[in-house]
Structure 1
Amino acid sequence: MPPLISYFERITLCFAWVAAWLFTLAGAMLSYEVVARYFFLSPTKWAAELSQLCLIYGTLLSMSWLLQHRRHIQINAVTSFLPERVHRMTVLMTMVILFIFCAYVAFFGWVIFEDSFARGRTTGSLLDLPAWIAELPVPVCFAVLGAQALIEIWKLIDGRPIPKGGHE
């Protein structure tokens, strides 16, 4: 495997670990909120919004790892019966469409992020955080997902086996 791809996949693994910790942190914050609200009658101002940010970042950071390991939702009732060559072409077309979609979302996500950053837009919540904090991971993580789609295309063209994922 080329060193650049190996390096990128290590970064993807780091993103997945950060995502796992963010999900854990979100669970801890929400648990704290429940205890504070219902046992001490003292709800927090920060737990709901910060846990939402953790879930947003965690979900988006994990996308490329999920694609690499085929752990995303797959509907393979038909494709599992296709001949190998046709199945490979189907996966290739899927990755090309995914790359185009990622490029679109990354581009327009960046436009939205840039606009919010320039205008100083805020969330309007109790914490009144800058809106760009929640918007930034969209273009960044979809660009990373698009790069992972390109890597998957390269692997398919190189003749590597299609990963089965954990669903079979």
Structure 2
Amino acid sequence: MLIKAIDGLNEVVGRVVSVVAIIFGAIIIYDVVMRYAFNDPTRWAFDVTKQLYGFYFVMLGGYALRHQSHVRVDLITETLGDTSRRWVEIAGYLIFFFPFAWVFMTRSWDFGVTSWNQGETTYGSVQLPVYPLKLAMACAAGLLFLQGIAEVLKLALGHKVPHHDS
């Protein structure tokens, strides 16, 4: 039930956030048309698309992990059987993934709250608030951490062991 809830949460977030790519793509096209067809470039498009792309990129980490889409180096695990591979994967999560995700989550939260308290804005011609993106990093790290829990539970409970063909 917990695995299904975490997988479902990251699936919904991934599908909703993927719409952001369409939005920042449309803004880029709009800016290019305004710049080259009408010689009237926007002042805001670069900053907005940069913020949207940052949001898009960080928020899809949990979704990517759910679908085993992260870059992996399987030099050790490719020669192992399913049971050994499962335990090596679990050890990797415990030793490397969870400490990284925890630091990413807690430091991003501090980073976002500091930005909020300072009223931090972008330095471009249009000053956009920066804290939404920085707080999104903390949210993304939380989603990644949760998906890590789901992946470890899948491994521990004997769900399909990921094989990564290259």
Superposed CA offset, 1:3-45 (max 9, x none) = x332222221111112211112111111111111111111111
- Residue matched to 1:151: 150
Length, aligned pairs only = 165
CA RMSD of aligned residues (A): 1.7
TM-score of the pair, normalised by structure 1: 0.89
- Residue matched to 1:18: 16
- Residue matched to 1:160: 159
Superposed CA offset, 1:80-113 (max 9, x none) = 2222222112211222221211110110111111
- Residue matched to 1:28: 26
* Structure 2 Cα separation of the partners of residues 76 and 15 of structure 1: 28
* Greater RCO, 1 or 2 (C-alpha within 8 Å, sep 6+): 2
Contact 2:27 2:45 (C-alpha < 8 Å) held by counterparts? yes
* Structure 1 Cα separation of the partners of residues 33 and 11 of structure 2: 33
Residue identity opposite 2:17 in structure 1: A
* Structure 1 Cα separation of the partners of residues 44 and 92 of structure 2: 40
Secondary structure of the residue aligned to 2:38 is coil
- Residue matched to 1:52: 50
* Structure 1 Cα separation of the partners of residues 69 and 145 of structure 2: 16
1:55 CA drift (Å): 1.2
- Residue matched to 1:118: 117
2:41 equivalent among 40, 43, 47? 43
Secondary structure of the residue aligned to 2:98 is helix
Contact 1:113 1:135 (C-alpha < 8 Å) held by counterparts? yes
- Residue matched to 2:132: 133
Unpaired segments of 5 or more residues in structure 2? Answer: none
Unpaired segments of 5 or more residues in structure 1? Answer: none
* Structure 2 Cα separation of the partners of residues 120 and 62 of structure 1: 26
Deviates more, 1:80-89 or 1:105-114: 80-89
Q: Is 1:71 paired with 2:69? A: yes
